[in-house]
Structure 1
Amino acid sequence: MSDVTVRQLAHVVGTPVGRLLEQLREAGIGVDCEDAAITEAQKLQLLRYLRHSHGASVDAATPKKITLKRRSHSEIQVNAGGGRSKTVNVEVRKKRTYIKRSVILEQEQKRLAEVQAERRRQEEEQALQEQASLRAQQEREARLIAEEEAKRHAEEEAKRRAEEEAKRHAEEEAKRHAEEEAKRRAEEEAKRHAEEEAKRRAEEEAKRHAEEERKSKPTVEPEKARAEKPAGRKAKPRSRSRSGDRELEQEQRRTKFGRKELHITPGKPSKRKKLRSQKTAAPTPKHGFEKPTAPIVREVSIPETITVAELAQKMSVKAAEVIKVLMKLGIMATINQALDQDTATIVVEEMGHKPKLLQENALELELTQAEQEVSKQVSRAAVVTIMGHVDHGKTSLLDYIRRAKVASGEAGGITQHIGAYKVHSDKGEITFIDTPGHAAFTAMRARGAKVTDVVILVVAADDGVMPQTVEAIQHAGAAGAPLVVAVNKIDRPDADPDRVKQELTNHDVIPEEWGGETQFVNVSAKTGEGIDELIEAILLQAEIMELKASPEGAARGVVIESRLDKGRGPVATILVQSGTLYKGDILLSGVETGRVRAMLTETGQEIAEAGPSTPVEILGLSGTPNAGDEAIVVSDERKAREIAGLRQAKEREAKLARQQSAKLENMFSEMEEGEVRTLNLVIKADVQGSAEALSESLIKLSTDKAKVKVVAAGVGGINETDVNLAVASNAILIGFNVRADATARRSIAEKGVDLHYYSVIYNAIDEVRGALTGMLEPEYREEIIGLARVDDVFRSPKFGAIAGCLVVEGVVRRHNPIRVLRDNVVIFEGQLESLRRFKEDVQEVRSGTECGIGVKDYRDVKVGDHIEVYERIKIEPTL
């Protein structure tokens, strides 16, 4: 294309001339008027600037492959019947793709580099094997028994490798056969679809030809009918009738093959049939086609997620039309891709239809509202959450209150789960929820605050306010729950309760005696001092809040924790909030449902019913629900399963959409960032909350250089499936308060899986952080240690040019790398070949001393140059 002016280019691209001139100036192209000419190079420069400004890569302006499409047209004569022929236009399309040679060369070089790397790795392995053989030979010479043992190990190792090689070849052969079978099936499927499409087109063509032949036959009036015509009625000329028929046929043909739809009007015959009915006495059926008067506007129901194919079917259009509209909106989608409700609404409006938004949980609302019954409300026990920093005595305080030893069952005295307990006292009943205080369990503490009525903030009198104490205050404030501060460990000699009060006032927690609204109670979990006052404060706060709930009707509650028990199956800890839960009720919680087979208290006692503010362990659910899910009793088991299935399908679609979005969004960023080291983990824990908290804590350790990827996180013991998953993903297997069974242990020993057991969460975090640090490569920093000025140059037959220098800064060492500077510009980098002081070789020369320097492989040293000496300092990587 020849050069064009700014005005012509603006007209072609469809942008104002002033805007185009501004973009040209921003791109560094000096164009002032709209009649100035623009060359191809300037167009390319403008295109690169626009791509860069919109976030695209500059190299994207140069295509790596090009596709050429060609079309050829021809005409053939087809027999239309009745001795007539018809001309049919035939269009042949061809497409050919050319790949840039540099791309092929880059791929070949990359493959060659991989082969060379593999070869080097094999050589290194071979060298290691040779060293091992040499060491074994030396040991055999020393001891005969060791020689026999080494020989036996070598035979076993060779046998194992032969078996692994045979297994690998078998897997590759099976994979190849599977790929060939899949390819053959795809070709057969494509061939079958092509045959069906050809058959359908042939049937449509035959039907169309028959319809046109029927319409093109002239109406011949019998002589007898013309004789029987009334004398007073004037007949129309035959030529005019044929002209009108041809116009009607053309109008029908345009309507048939046009973009508008055909409307069938029953009872109104066509013009040809009307004339025929006037000429003949035989009755004819009354039907025909009428030209559309307006496009059809449909009301399209749109759920929260819908695929492109389903949306096209609801609008009675092809999926390709919907994909075209999405491409205009800047969305690249496939026929099976799921669209959100907002995007689908825009597409429906763009295509001229009326969207109707559907509420995905309509069935759930209908079922849950039907279960709600208005009944009399009575007072209920207060739900109290104990929060605070690590090792401030939360569990010990609860132990003293309920006269049980819970802390002895926790690893290291640190609470790892959410425990719910109902305490009976002379002054009333209180339900306690004990949340862990470690920073990794922030989400678990948040769930505890959501279901609680009163929060007991435990602060050690000898330690004061700590980071987790502040987080607990924030969670309680977000949940809108009142605080009761328990100043623990007052029996210690260094206890200072007044300091705790002063520190809490900085976080808007003001005691009642200081004019605030928060109750402060000094307690000791060791001696029991102040426990009665704390219970009275809780009951007083509950009485002020007037906590009530209805014990009648369908039970509602929330999942506090869930786990997978080997003997009993899924076990969920549920806090009943309203209604009464009975044994045998049908329970729906998240994506899980089932009939309550048994209800157990925190002490293991089986009960038949549980009222409001009662925590129980439930057996009989289909799986382990997520902590924080709502649990509701329903009367119809079939509808409960239907709702659980809908929730599972919705969760699966959302997961697939997130995965596809993540792949599309991270594809270019990963290409730009280069190789990022990834540590894969497979986590198994005893309860759902621990697995979730451990996964979140380990993922937060990721940086730009090293990332943690949790391949899978589940509940229950470690089985053989988990081991196979760790092998397939090259992951480390972590067991948190769980152990591997016999089959899994045998598989771990055979496949060499790295397995770690933990019972305290911050031990796992520390070791994973250390593993990430070990994956990083060390960095090197250069530090200048000396600078010498060249005052004269001598010629030596042995060393060549020798620079007579004066060390002006630091020290010049013999074995350090150097740079030669001329006018403060680096002209050479290398090493010292010789360093002399008079006639003696020296290792270093300090500032203010003259010396002779010989630069290795460089003979162009001149007077006035500077020789810079530096050293590389290794920096250990850190996260």
Structure 2
Amino acid sequence: MSEVTVKQLASTVGIPVERLLTQLKEAGISASGADATLTEQEKIQLLGYLRRSHGKDEGAADGAPDQVTIKRKSVSELRVPTAAPRTNPPGSRPAPTPRGGGKTVSVEVRRKRTYVKRADEPATGTTPAPRRQSNDRSRAGRERAAATSAVIDESRRRAALEAMRAEQEARRLAEQEEQERIARAEEVRAEEERRQAAEARRRAEEDARLQAEREAAERQVSKASDTSDVAEAVTDTDVPETPARRTESAKPKKAVKKAAESVEKEKERPVKKVVRKEAAPVRVRDVAAAGRGDYEDVEGAGGGRGPRRRKKSSKPQLQDKHVFQRPTSPVTREVEIPENITVADLANRMSVKASVVIKELFKQGMMVTINQSLDRDTAILVVEEMGHRALVADERDAEGTLLDEMEEQEGQFESLSRPPVVTIMGHVDHGKTSLLDYIRRTRVASGEAGGITQHIGAYHVETDKGTVSFLDTPGHAAFSAMRARGAKVTDIVILVVAADDGVMPQTAEAIQHARAAGVPLIVAINKVDKPEANPDKVMQELTQYEVLTEEWGGDTMMVKVSAKAGTGIDELLDAILLQAEVLELKAPVSGPARGAIVESSLDKGRGPVATVLVQSGTLRRGDIIVSGGEYGRVRAMFDEAGAPVESAGPSIPVQVLGLSGTPNAGDDVITVSDERRAREVAEFRAARSRQSRFDEQRGVSLDQLFTQLKDGEQKAVNLILKADVQGSLEALRESLLKLTNDEVKVAIVASGVGGLTESDANLAVTSNAILLGFNVRADAAARRVVEEKGLDLRYYSIIYELIDEVKQAISGLLSPIVTEEIIGLAEVRDVFRSSKFGAVAGCMVVEGVIKRNNPIRVLRNNVVVYEGALESLRRFKDDVPEVKHGTECGIGVKNYNDVQPGDQIEVFERTERARVL
């Protein structure tokens, strides 16, 4: 190589000149600057230094490559003849193609050969002398040229070989293709022959079947005629039938001979003898009919005559007369009316047709059906209107009898003091659960979703001052029903109010629940340890709700507490026990247990689990209980910590296993002597609840029938709701049903406690419903159906999010609010005729602005005569998008040519705004 400068070498290598100068200096090569020249020897010396500095072998410092790779590519063309159109026998070569025919195939051969340095060559890192280097270079050049020539020869030889092989392969493929084409043609021909043969065979079979059917029909016709002749001949013969004769007639030959003789006789017989057939049916009647009483044998079996129909007397007998006489005066009946009765049952009790009762109800303005249920008051009115006496039926059914027996048994046992049941109420995030946590020495609040309580918790605490049972209720507005249930079973209400927040809406609602239940109230002002706490402000706000503390001369106890620091907890317990002593709470300890359902849920491993607060008696393991529409035997009981217990006395909450289902929160719990009676009471309650739901749905649909027909079909949002506990489920149902309005209806197709199952998913498919899971999840089968059908499945753990999303979905179904705004008014001064636009109004814009793309109204004497759109808007000869106030313009009204001078053209805009709940 020729000498190069430092700058050129740096540009070739792709590094800065300064860096290359530094490397040259480190390699011991003197270079004054970027314009200094470098010899071949200096470049090799630099390369060796760089290899040594990067850990390479010094033997490779001479810069000679270890191997040389040579690549060659050759392209040639190969002409492949096409197959001849005529058919050649298999194995023969195709006929030659005319000159100029065939296909041209390009054959490209790529070769690569690598030469590696021999191992016996010296690999020293020393630099040879210039003369030796020159000789070595020339010898290496000669060797490289020889190697290159050999490689080129080898490549040409291989290219020729590959071309020959490609030509042979192309010729072989052409022959194979021709053979395959011939074979396919043979298969098509054979298939066509088989199809034609099958078609001919099918036609032959069809012809043979038709011929056989015709012959069979002809044989049946001839046989029928022969049989009729034979029957007639036998009928004309009066010889009695004997078993021997029946046996002979069954023989085929004799029957045929006899039939032939009968035919001959029939030909010779006069025509008038045919009328004797009338006697035949009487003689060949089945004798068994006489045994049923339909016929009687008048002349006896030996008379030769068959049974004959008994003749009835033409005169009516005395006992056949109708002796009922219509009453001359109306009949007054006493009709027992239960709580609910259907129209059909009411008609039966009055001995009238159901249509009469329906007609009477129509007169009173009620459209009913025969199966519709009527309440007691309506039934009494109908009975009295129809002239009968209505009596109230005795309602002592299985449930009433059981309750009466329970009251009698409770009076037989001595009542003893019981612990108080305390309900903690208050607003969201005012520290109710944290206060209870400090008393129980647990951390329940840390496990709650969003830091709030989603369902009622029942606990009993053993303190130094006595036992106290606590009910922790949620503070969110949606759980008002749950708080109401908590106030019904409680003895004392603790109202928790944050000292830094004051009285809130749910605080006022808790005060109302406590007053409705008639229980005393204790105010616990929480978070008094905060710097911004102001207890006096809270007390002042409570006076607005007629809650006056003892410090201010009232009768309500007030305690300042801190759930975090534990301040005032002992004073709060003292106040609770003092209030309990004043109330003198007592209940019988012995005898059958009676209580209430605080909460219920469905556990996957344990089944229905109900939290029962015992109010009287003692509940033991093995007792048979009935709660609402569910019943069962108590298989196991656990306290709030999960420890098993054998019994629970008054005011003690326990978890019960063994019910047939999840009862509703708030249902009563009664101990029954035997399982048969428990099942009877539970089924009666379930039927009554089912009937009430049915009546409610039917009444609503009938009342809204004409409204829906008039206003169109009402939009509906179908929901399938599953929750972890019954209390949360009821609260969610009430909150969602309140979202129904005149345009959109929220319909809860199904609801229940437990996870989402496959049946829920299939129900969502049929009813086009949305699946909502509150603290529950769908199982594998339900998830598979959801994925296959593309259902909308959503999980929630906080009630705010669920209600808000359903509210947004309903808002999307509401029709938008459409408003109109007049933006311009033009007065027509003159009308011109145009061949293109028809009548064109020359106008003056008197108000606002006239826009081309907006809708318009044509006013005549301030009365709208046309509403449409503009076809053209021009200013002189130019089309303009808008014309402002005080400007003349030409307006063409689309599809309207009756514009007159003096009319006004009004331009307006419509705006739509989404409605929200």
So what's the TM-score if we normalise by structure 2? 0.63
Select which of 359, 373, 378 maps to 1:343.
378
1:339, CA displacement in angstroms? 3.1
Question: Is 1:557 matched with 2:625?
Answer: no
The aligned residue for residue 139 of structure 1 is none
- Residue-by-residue CA offset, 1:203-244 (whole Å, 9 max, x unaligned): xxx9x999952379xxxxxxxxxxxxxxxxxxxxxxxxxxxx
Contact 2:774 2:796 in 1 (8 A): yes
The aligned residue for residue 384 of structure 1 is 422
The aligned residue for residue 454 of structure 1 is 492
1:796, CA displacement in angstroms? 4.9
Given the superposition, is the C-alpha separation of residues 830 and 553 from structure 1 closer, same or farther in structure 2, using an over 3 Å criterion? same
Question: Is 1:430 matched with 2:468?
Answer: yes
The aligned residue for residue 658 of structure 2 is 620
Deviates more, 1:326-335 or 1:490-499: 326-335
1:471-510 alignment, distance < 5 Å? 471-510=509-548
1:401-800 alignment, distance < 5 Å? 401-796=439-834, 799-800=837-838
Question: Is 1:214 matched with 2:318?
Answer: yes
The aligned residue for residue 109 of structure 1 is none
Q: How far apart in 1 are the matches of 2:657 and 2:755?
A: 18
The aligned residue for residue 356 of structure 1 is 391
The aligned residue for residue 809 of structure 1 is 847
Question: Is 1:877 matched with 2:912?
Answer: no
Select which of 861, 880, 892 maps to 1:842.
880
Q: How far apart in 2 are the matches of 1:317 and 1:780?
A: 57
Structure 2 residue runs without a partner (length 5+): 1-309
Q: How far apart in 2 are the matches of 1:858 and 1:661?
A: 52
Task: Write the letter of the residue equivalent to 2:774.
Answer: F
Secondary structure in structure 2 of the residue aligned to 1:506: helix
Given the superposition, is the C-alpha separation of residues 780 and 384 from structure 1 closer, same or farther in structure 2, using an over 3 Å criterion? same
Q: How far apart in 1 are the matches of 2:615 and 2:903?
A: 85
Q: How far apart in 1 are the matches of 2:690 and 2:395?
A: 15
Deviates more, 1:693-702 or 1:862-871: 862-871
Deviates more, 1:588-597 or 1:311-320: 311-320
1:217-366 alignment, distance < 5 Å? 256-259=324-327, 298-315=333-350, 319=354, 322-323=357-358, 326=361, 331-350=366-385, 352-366=387-401
Q: How far apart in 1 are the matches of 2:313 and 2:804?
A: 79
1:654, CA displacement in angstroms? 2.2
Deviates more, 1:611-620 or 1:782-791: 782-791
Q: How far apart in 2 are the matches of 1:783 and 1:425?
A: 72
Task: Write the letter of the residue equivalent to 1:855.
Answer: V
Task: Write the letter of the residue equivalent to 1:502.
Answer: Q
Given the superposition, is the C-alpha separation of residues 333 and 766 from structure 1 closer, same or farther in structure 2, using an over 3 Å criterion? closer
Q: How far apart in 2 are the matches of 1:295 and 1:870?
A: 74
- Residue-by-residue CA offset, 1:639-667 (whole Å, 9 max, x unaligned): 22212222222222222322332232221
Given the superposition, is the C-alpha separation of residues 621 and 838 from structure 1 closer, same or farther in structure 2, using an over 3 Å criterion? same
Question: Is 1:373 matched with 2:410?
Answer: yes
Q: How far apart in 2 are the matches of 1:474 and 1:492?
A: 28
Q: How far apart in 1 are the matches of 2:851 and 2:378?
A: 69
Given the superposition, is the C-alpha separation of residues 489 and 333 from structure 1 closer, same or farther in structure 2, using an over 3 Å criterion? same
Q: How far apart in 2 are the matches of 1:849 and 1:325?
A: 73
1:368, CA displacement in angstroms? 2.6
Secondary structure in structure 2 of the residue aligned to 1:832: strand
Q: How far apart in 1 are the matches of 2:826 and 2:370?
A: 71
Contact 1:792 1:863 in 2 (8 A): yes
Contact 2:398 2:680 in 1 (8 A): no
Given the superposition, is the C-alpha separation of residues 654 and 854 from structure 1 closer, same or farther in structure 2, using an over 3 Å criterion? closer
Q: How far apart in 2 are the matches of 1:529 and 1:580?
A: 36
Q: How far apart in 2 are the matches of 1:446 and 1:562?
A: 17
- Residue-by-residue CA offset, 1:613-643 (whole Å, 9 max, x unaligned): 1011111111111111111112233222212
Given the superposition, is the C-alpha separation of residues 306 and 873 from structure 1 closer, same or farther in structure 2, using an over 3 Å criterion? closer
Secondary structure in structure 2 of the residue aligned to 1:384: strand
Q: How far apart in 2 are the matches of 1:323 and 1:764?
A: 45
1:259, CA displacement in angstroms? 4.1
Given the superposition, is the C-alpha separation of residues 344 and 800 from structure 1 closer, same or farther in structure 2, using an over 3 Å criterion? closer
Q: How far apart in 2 are the matches of 1:451 and 1:590?
A: 16
Q: How far apart in 2 are the matches of 1:301 and 1:657?
A: 21
Given the superposition, is the C-alpha separation of residues 360 and 649 from structure 1 closer, same or farther in structure 2, using an over 3 Å criterion? farther
Secondary structure in structure 2 of the residue aligned to 1:739: coil
Given the superposition, is the C-alpha separation of residues 472 and 807 from structure 1 closer, same or farther in structure 2, using an over 3 Å criterion? same
Contact 1:368 1:634 in 2 (8 A): no
Q: How far apart in 1 are the matches of 2:576 and 2:851?
A: 76
1:361, CA displacement in angstroms? 4.3
Contact 2:425 2:494 in 1 (8 A): yes
- Residue-by-residue CA offset, 1:331-374 (whole Å, 9 max, x unaligned): 55554443333333344445554433224344333323323232
- Residue-by-residue CA offset, 1:568-594 (whole Å, 9 max, x unaligned): 111111111111111111112111111
Q: How far apart in 1 are the matches of 2:565 and 2:491?
A: 27
Secondary structure in structure 2 of the residue aligned to 1:669: helix
- Residue-by-residue CA offset, 1:120-167 (whole Å, 9 max, x unaligned): xxxxxxxxxxxxxxxxxxxxxxxxxxxxxxxxxxxxxxxxxxxxxxxx
1:787, CA displacement in angstroms? 1.2
Given the superposition, is the C-alpha separation of residues 316 and 501 from structure 1 closer, same or farther in structure 2, using an over 3 Å criterion? same
Contact 2:721 2:748 in 1 (8 A): yes
**Greater C-alpha radius of gyration:** 2
1:839, CA displacement in angstroms? 4.3
Secondary structure in structure 2 of the residue aligned to 1:633: strand
Given the superposition, is the C-alpha separation of residues 342 and 847 from structure 1 closer, same or farther in structure 2, using an over 3 Å criterion? same
1:454, CA displacement in angstroms? 0.9
- Residue-by-residue CA offset, 1:165-204 (whole Å, 9 max, x unaligned): xxxxxxxxxxxxxxxxxxxxxxxxxxxxxxxxxxxxxxxx
Task: Write the letter of the residue equivalent to 2:670.
Answer: I
Task: Write the letter of the residue equivalent to 2:907.
Answer: V
1:518, CA displacement in angstroms? 1.2
The aligned residue for residue 188 of structure 1 is none
Secondary structure in structure 1 of the residue aligned to 2:317: helix
Secondary structure in structure 1 of the residue aligned to 2:545: coil
Secondary structure in structure 2 of the residue aligned to 1:457: strand
Task: Write the letter of the residue equivalent to 2:898.
Answer: D
1:857, CA displacement in angstroms? 3.7
The aligned residue for residue 821 of structure 1 is 859
Given the superposition, is the C-alpha separation of residues 636 and 297 from structure 1 closer, same or farther in structure 2, using an over 3 Å criterion? farther
Contact 2:410 2:588 in 1 (8 A): no
The aligned residue for residue 8 of structure 1 is none
Given the superposition, is the C-alpha separation of residues 257 and 784 from structure 1 closer, same or farther in structure 2, using an over 3 Å criterion? same
Q: How far apart in 1 are the matches of 2:386 and 2:761?
A: 52
So what's the TM-score if we normalise by structure 1? 0.65
Contact 2:562 2:568 in 1 (8 A): yes
Given the superposition, is the C-alpha separation of residues 847 and 314 from structure 1 closer, same or farther in structure 2, using an over 3 Å criterion? closer
Given the superposition, is the C-alpha separation of residues 787 and 325 from structure 1 closer, same or farther in structure 2, using an over 3 Å criterion? closer
Given the superposition, is the C-alpha separation of residues 864 and 352 from structure 1 closer, same or farther in structure 2, using an over 3 Å criterion? closer
Given the superposition, is the C-alpha separation of residues 310 and 830 from structure 1 closer, same or farther in structure 2, using an over 3 Å criterion? closer
Q: How far apart in 2 are the matches of 1:298 and 1:771?
A: 57
